[in-house]
Amino acid sequence: MSKYQHIKEEAYAANMQLPELGLVLFTFGNASAVDRDLGAFAIKPSGVAYEKLTPDSMVILDFDANVIEGELRPSSDTKTHAVLYKEWDKVGGIVHTHSTYGTSWAQAIRDVPIFGTTHADHLTVDIPCAPPMKDSYIEGNYEHMTGYQIIDCLKERNLSYEAVEMILVGSHAPFTWGKTAAKAVYNSAVLEECARMAYLTLQVNPEAERLKDTLINKHFQRKHGKDAYYGQ
């Protein structure tokens, strides 16, 4: 058995959740899982239908996106995953989708506003949208620079990748991450639902206001604060 089998299994399970949760259509997305001790991550192969995936079809790469193990070509977004793993050492899994509502906000190049407590249960800020990539980056090492597009956006806004585990890449689509691949999938579903709710909120009331700070702090702290009391 491959010494990478555990991350193959983890990446496979994460990828299979994406169509189940309605986050991908056809092959429009990918998930990966990392083993820091081995210095490697597993990711979905490029263009393979989800129903044809197996754990052993996952491709193993190092943090410079060099293939270590696997017969298939890795996802076309592999270099983005590699950059994020290399730069952010607390990330254990990454997901990229073209989910409908998240991608719509990304195409509009707009942050997803924090309108309600569902959003505040997970973040205290709007879901950020990184500005569109420079032409020189697009024409160069595109997927590699997408990673830095994400990193630079959070840096410029003074946001921690450990606190904000999701982003929209302007003119493109969502990326999420977490301490595990399963958490990255969870964050992807949360992003999509918050994006959907925000869109619908603006249809009901185009002048809807941002959730007030007291409610943001209350809902976030009761779930994540030192005196959290949500859950068992």
pLDDT in tens, 94-113: 999 999 999 999 999 999 99
Active-site residue flag, 35: no
**Domain at 5-224: CATH code:** 3.40.225.10
pLDDT at 35: 99
C-alpha 83/C-alpha 98 separation (Å) is: 20
Task: State the pairing for strand pair 29-35/93-97.
Answer: antiparallel
pLDDT at 1: 81
pLDDT at 114: 99
Contacts with 216 (C-beta within 8 Å, 6 or more apart), sequence order:
114, 120, 124
Active-site residue flag, 135: no
Question: Of these residues, 56, 64, 213, 230, which one is catalytic?
Answer: 230
Q: Is the pLDDT of residue 171 over 90?
A: yes
In tens, the pLDDT along 57-94 reads 999 999 999 999 999 999 999 999 999 999 999 999 99
Q: Per-residue confidence at 127, pLDDT binned at 50, 70, 90?
A: very high
Q: For 113-121, what is the mean pLDDT? A: 98
Mean pLDDT score across all residues of the chain: 98
Report CA Rg, the chain: 18
Question: Of these residues, 121, 137, 142, 199, which one is catalytic?
Answer: 121
C-alpha 28/C-alpha 49 separation (Å) is: 9
Which of 59, 8, 44, 31 lies closest to 175 in space, CA to CA?
31
In tens, the pLDDT along 16-26 reads 999 999 999 99
Instruction: Kindly report whether the global pTM for this prediction surpasses the value 0.85.
Output: yes
Q: Per-residue confidence at 182, pLDDT binned at 50, 70, 90?
A: very high
